[in-house]
Amino acid sequence: MNPRKVCLLAGGVGGAKMAEGLAAHDDVALTVIGNVADDESFHGLWVSPDIDTLTYSLAGRIDRAQGWGVADEGHRALETLKLLGAETWMSLGDRDFGLHIHRTMRRARGDRPSDIARDVARAFGVTPAILLPTDDVVQTRLRTTDGRWLSFQEYFVRERCAPEIREIAFSGMDMARPTPEALAAITAADLIVIAPSNPLVSIAPILGVPGITEALRAATAPKIAVSPFIDGRVVKGPADRMMASLGLRADALGVARRYRTLADRLVIDHADDALAAEIAAEGPAPHYSDILMKSQADKARLAREILDLAFTPAEAMA
Ligand code: GDP
Ligand code: CA
């Protein structure tokens, strides 16, 4: 049988776990559309944290304990920068710096960011395609209660998600053009999966690129989203506090409402079955599973369940 074409929309850590699970199956041809809105310049270098988390994870080079960054990493370059008086709150490792230097050099030369991401993934031995939703610069901006606009990394790393968020904007989004690769992957997909990534700052800036949501709506493939909330909590990160401070439900129901018109199914945790009635009434049809991915086996099992949900006729599942 030809492998199923699966197109995954993914942010960083939660997205990469789902990508690894899908990539573990031989009957899947995986394409991942990542998030570029966390990108930012540090020390003159263009850093693309979510794309690199996908690449490092799928290459088996990720620091498994933290879920991001490279394993067996050192920080000597950062020590030098600190000695020279640079701001070093953004932790960038020595191995990681090599990639940022390469990316920056190629961008300066005028290469397409998509081509750079593809070549980097290939060099690292990654089999799935890692695509960018746009080659244009789109950046998340977060307005705090005290009226400051922060970049994602300023909010997330420098201020450790402490400020309360009033508003989220994506600079450059209006003018951004989708990449032909991302549009083609969506159109050709047999299954579209929305990873359990932060809906507001990982998935929203993919969906917001003009043309991407339209392509998703036009696609005939089933669309299955996975909740990043388990038992009313996020596994990690600020999605719960962000959603709450924007007046949204910070739980699987909030996710269901968000993906109501986009996804056919929402995979949620058994721990959230108290929300079943509300989710069934307001969101995509729920499917209950264990959605915490700790081990490689957890990731592969959840991915298999999603594939079964999409491709096994209902009678066979009963
Ligand atoms: P980031 O860019 O590194 O913040 O990563 P993502 O946006 O891709 O993912 C962040 C989200 O992943 C958080 O809201 C977490 O709750 C969620 N997440 C992390 N690990 C898991 C997991 O094992 N299972 C599920 N369902 N969600 C997870
Ligand atoms: Ca991210």
What are the tokens at 310?
A: 């999409």
On whether the CB atoms of residues 7 and 186 are closer than 8 A, the answer is yes
On whether the CB atoms of residues 234 and 314 are closer than 8 A, the answer is no
* Band (318; pLDDT cuts 50, 70, 90): low
Q: What is the pLDDT of residues 167-198, one digit of tens each?
A: 999 999 999 999 999 999 999 999 999 999 99
| Beta carbon of 113 within 6 Å of any ligand 1 atom | no
What's the gap in Å between 241 CA and the centre of ligand 1? 14
DSSP characters for 137-171?
--EEEEEETTS-EEEHHIIIIISTT-SPEEEEEEE
pTM of the predicted model over 0.85: yes
* Band (5; pLDDT cuts 50, 70, 90): very high
What's the gap in Å between 106 CA and the centre of ligand 1? 30
Cα–Cα dist 225/9, whole Å: 9
Q: What is the pLDDT of residues 107-163, one digit of tens each?
A: 999 999 999 999 999 999 999 999 999 999 999 999 999 999 999 999 999 999 999
Domain ranges of the chain: 4-43+127-143+171-317
Which ligand lies nearest to the CA atom of residue 54 in the structure?
1
On whether the CB atoms of residues 299 and 293 are closer than 8 A, the answer is yes
Which ligand lies nearest to the CA atom of residue 48 in the structure?
2
Q: What single-letter amino acid sits at 318?
A: A
CATH homologous superfamily for 4-43+127-143+171-317? Answer: CofD-like domains (3.40.50.10680)
